[in-house]
Structure 1
Amino acid sequence: MYYLVAVLPDRIQAEAAYSALEKEGLPMNQVAILGRGYKSADEYGLIDPNEEARKQAKFMSYWLVPFGFFGGFIFNVISGLDTFPWAGALGNHLIGGLLGAIAGGMGSVLAGGGVGLIVGGGDALPYRNRLNAGKYLVVVNGAETLTLSATKILRPFNPENLQGYADTKSQVY
């Protein structure tokens, strides 16, 4: 599946571009306008990077927190630290494990959430920002030949940005 995204400054140009695509015979179920009065970014499925970061952090915590507990527990056993004399040997090992689990949770937020914020959204965030600024997106999705045809049709409208993407998760046959 391929995507072509054209950023147009106003509704009139977006509708003119949509009409030009329709006039050339492109399947209109594969063309969408995003912006005020049309589909929103969420309705179309543009990824919210913050939501993606939360999901990634939660996923990472499933293995980092237990790993941190185990690591903290074993470290305390091996090193023989007696940080809290009132807790006894087993209590110190469990506190070490608890501190390791906390460190694992912090690592999942930093690695999962931080990386998700930086790379999780890809170009979705700039497109969301343009929609928030009152601009319009014309999106064409389908086979590569369809997006190439749409590129030729949309170029005369002088879009602010005309970008093609290949979705590697799905195949078109």
Structure 2
Amino acid sequence: MNYLIAVLSDRIEAESAYLALERESINSTILGRGYKSADEFGLIDPKEQAKKQATFMSYWLVPFGFFAGVAFSLSTGLNTFGWAGEIGNHLIGGLLGAGSGALGSLVAGGGVGLITGGGDALPYRNRLNAGKYIIVVQGSETVTRQATRILRQFEPENIQGYAETN
């Protein structure tokens, strides 16, 4: 399945492009105010995905970090916190290891994507938030080529094709 995404500046252009595609029997979808939202269409929010991944990673990295911290404390025999005693030092080592696991889940699980964003979905979401309209055409390569010729007449701000890799 191929996708063609065109960004148009206003509703009238988007509706005109949609009707031109419809005249050629090309199915398309309009995203924007008064039409489908990015969530309804299925544009993934990269920040939401990063949060889910970081949370998922923390389920196993935090306990692993705790046990690794305890194991490190037991194997080295360090007495870093004299006031805590022997068992207290091992527990503090475990807590520090759990904290390291939490930081690891943030970084490895998508924290960078959470901070910087990522992928093409975020720019399209930003354009929708700015009041632009997006036309999405799904179909074979020949359909998307035909749709590209039609949409270029409307001078979109951006036109981009994607091929599904599944």
Residue 128, structure 1, aligned to residue 128, structure 2? no
Instruction: State the identity as a percent.
Output: 71
Deviations 1:39-98 (A, max 9, x none): 111111111122111101012112211221122112111221112334332332222112
Distance 2:116 2:165 in 1: 16
Q: Which residue of 1 aligns with 2:54?
A: 57
Is 2:3 aligned against 1:3?
Answer: yes
Question: What is aligned with 1:107?
Answer: 104
TM-score, reference length from structure 2: 0.91
TM-score by length of 1: 0.87
Output aligned runs, 1:61-80, within 5 Å.
61-80=58-77
SS where residue 146 of structure 2 aligns? helix
CA contact (8 A) 1:76 1:93 kept: yes
Whole-angstrom CA distance in 2 between matches of 1:8 and 1:110: 36
* Structure 2 residue runs without a partner (length 5+): none
- Could you tell which deviates more after superposition, 107-116 or 153-162? 107-116
Partners in 2 of 1:139 and 1:111 — Cα distance? 33
Which region of structure 1 is more displaced relative to structure 2, 58-67 or 14-23? 58-67
Number of residue pairs the alignment of both structures matches: 166
2:32 maps to what in 1?
Answer: 35
1:47 alignment partner AA = I
The aligned amino acid for 1:76 is S
| CA deviation after TM superposition for structure 1 residue 118, in Å | 6.2
| Structure 2 Cα separation of the partners of residues 117 and 91 of structure 1 | 35
- The 2-side partners of 1:143 and 1:120 are apart by 30
Q: Which runs of 5+ in 1 are unaligned?
A: none
**Secondary structure of 2:153's match?**
helix
Equivalent position of 1:25 in the other structure: 25
Counterpart selection for 1:155 from 152, 156, 161: 152
Preserved CA contact (<8 Å) 2:51 2:111: no
Query: Do the aligned partners of residues 103 and 115 (structure 1) sit closer, same or farther apart at CA in structure 2, a change above 3 Å counting?
Result: same
- Code of the aligned partner of 2:20: A
